[in-house]
Amino acid sequence: MRRLWLLPTGLVALAVSVILPRWAAAADWQPNAAMMALYQKAKAEGEVSLWTPAAIEGSWVNDQFAKRFPGITVNLTADLQGATKIIAEARAGRHTVDDWTFAIAGMIEVQKRGLMATQDWAALGIDPKDTFFDSQAAATHNFVYTTIYSKAAVKPADLPKTWDDFTDPKWTGKLVAQSFLLPRMMGFFAIEWGPERAEKWGRTLIDDRKLLVISSPSEPYLKSGERVMAVGESISLAYQYQDDGLDVAYRNLDLVPAGQFAVTTLKDAPHPNAALLLAAWLSSDEGKALYEKLIHEADIRPGSKSELAAEIRKSGAKIILEDLNTMAQRAKYYEGFSKLVRGQN
């Protein structure tokens, strides 16, 4: 890196952009004047509560937020049933939640009850196209569906290029999928392909390719060699398996379904200034970069600066984003595909 400074300024910028990972570009991010003014108010509150669906989603936030905005403690609650509990609290006249991150499909019941606050995200540097529910939530990251394979068992030349490739007889008895994730991914396919083709694809894998459907992560099946390819898991899970010592990799195919996670501030947040500050930071370029760097959950929306988004663009794959306009239809598809996957249809 020291040698870079011997180059003309323009070449230095180009060289750094090539050498550094894309998330490092967010190191130049700075809060704008409106965010700094908000910080001064938030410091007086001293703390903020953040609810996430799982601990991994928020366990990193307190330490990283303190580096950018000292003096405010982030109190984390990890609960997959956050929506139900937020609604129950509101009915009882209690309000303990400041910020809540979840998939946008899981936010609907809370939003319908008027419990989410409308914010001026643009004033804090958040692009309005990355907001949902009439400015009541802002995008943070995507749950990116992919395939995970054993590097020892699958040769590079044998890797599939499309989701349809899994219908090839060579994959018979070699595939595994989670009953929770597979039908959700098929809902994306139904939006793109039409429901008949998506159902035929799923039935072929289950009936002909003898897909093993499980109710837990595929890690032990890939580790034992009983199955060599997991269909429809997430990129973040691939990294978790690697951290556990598995020699696996992910393979993005022709379609990349992506669930959408967002952050919202609750209307009756007990720490409203700290709540908005934390939410805006989580959905900023710096917050998104930290999601990708620390827990491998990247933002791949249009205009994203993430390394994964660049990788997908380079591959030519088509991204299918979770969308408020198609969520209800995809939920109906999920119900039918869930019965199929569980052998009830």
Both 215 and 324 in a single domain?
A: yes
Residue 280 one-letter amino acid: A
pLDDT value of residue 72: 98
Mean pLDDT value across residues 292-298: 96
State the Cα angle at 104 between 113 and 230, rounded to 5°.
145
pLDDT value of residue 344: 75
Both 70 and 80 in a single domain?
A: yes
Domain contains 3? no
Show the DSSP H helices in the chain as ranges: 9-19, 33-45, 55-58, 61-68, 82-91, 104-112, 182-193, 195-203, 219-224, 235-243, 272-282, 285-295, 307-315, 327-341
Mean pLDDT value across residues 52-70: 97
CB 100 within 8 A of CB 258: no
51-68: b (≥16 Cβ within 10 Å) or e: bbbeeebbebbbebbeeb
- Give SS3 for 179: coil
Whole-number average pLDDT of the chain: 92
User: What is the end-to-end Cα distance of the chain in Å, rounded?
Assistant: 59
Domain contains 185? yes
Residue 92 one-letter amino acid: A
Rounded to an integer, what distance in angstroms lies between the CA atom of residue 273 and that of residue 115? Answer: 17
18, pLDDT greater than 50: no
Both 324 and 248 in a single domain?
A: yes
DSSP string of 273-305, one letter each residue: HHHHHHHHHHTSHHHHHHHHHHH-----STT--
pLDDT value of residue 15: 37
Strand 99-103, strand 131-132: pairing: unpaired
Both 273 and 216 in a single domain?
A: no
Half-sphere exposure of residue 244, counting CA atoms within 13 Å on the CB side?
15
Residue with the bigger pLDDT between 290 and 10: it is 290
Both 147 and 177 in a single domain?
A: yes
User: Residue 12: pLDDT band by 50, 70, 90 thresholds?
Assistant: very low
In terms of C-beta distances under 8 Å and separation of at least 24 residues, what long-range contacts does 238-242 make, across chains too? Answer: 238/146, 238/148, 238/296, 239/296, 241/148
Residue with the bigger pLDDT between 343 and 135: it is 135
Both 244 and 185 in a single domain?
A: yes
Mean pLDDT value across residues 31-35: 96
Domain contains 4? no
Both 238 and 161 in a single domain?
A: yes
Helices 327-341 and 195-203 pack at an angle, to 10 degrees, of: 20
Domain contains 193? yes
Both 100 and 197 in a single domain?
A: no
pLDDT value of residue 343: 86
Looking at the 3D structure of the chain, how many domains does it have? 2
Both 202 and 316 in a single domain?
A: yes
- Give SS3 for 71: coil
CB 265 within 8 A of CB 119: yes
The H or E element that residue 233 is part of is: strand 229-234
26, pLDDT greater than 80: no
**pLDDT tens-digit series, residues 75-113:** 999 999 999 999 999 999 999 999 999 999 999 999 999
Domain that holds residue 130: 21-142+259-303
Domain contains 279? yes
Rounded to an integer, what distance in angstroms lies between the CA atom of residue 217 and that of residue 219? Answer: 6
Among 5-19, 183-197, 262-276, whose mean pLDDT is lowest? 5-19
Strand 318-321, strand 255-265: pairing: parallel
Domain contains 11? no
Domain contains 293? yes
State the Cα angle at 128 between 127 and 130, rounded to 5°.
75
Both 147 and 133 in a single domain?
A: no
The two structure tokens encoding residue 120: 């001026």
Q: How far is CA 120 from each of CA 6, 35, 36, 247, rounded to the nearest angstrom?
A: 44, 11, 15, 45
User: Residue 13: pLDDT band by 50, 70, 90 thresholds?
Assistant: very low
Residue with the bigger pLDDT between 15 and 181: it is 181
User: Residue 27: pLDDT band by 50, 70, 90 thresholds?
Assistant: low
pLDDT value of residue 228: 98
Both 70 and 209 in a single domain?
A: no
226, pLDDT greater than 80: yes
Both 213 and 163 in a single domain?
A: yes
Among 27-36, 177-186, 248-257, whose mean pLDDT is lowest? 27-36
Which residues lie below 8 Å from residue 126, measured CB to CB, with a gap of 6+?
138, 280, 283, 284
Domain contains 42? yes
CATH number at residue 249: 3.40.190.10
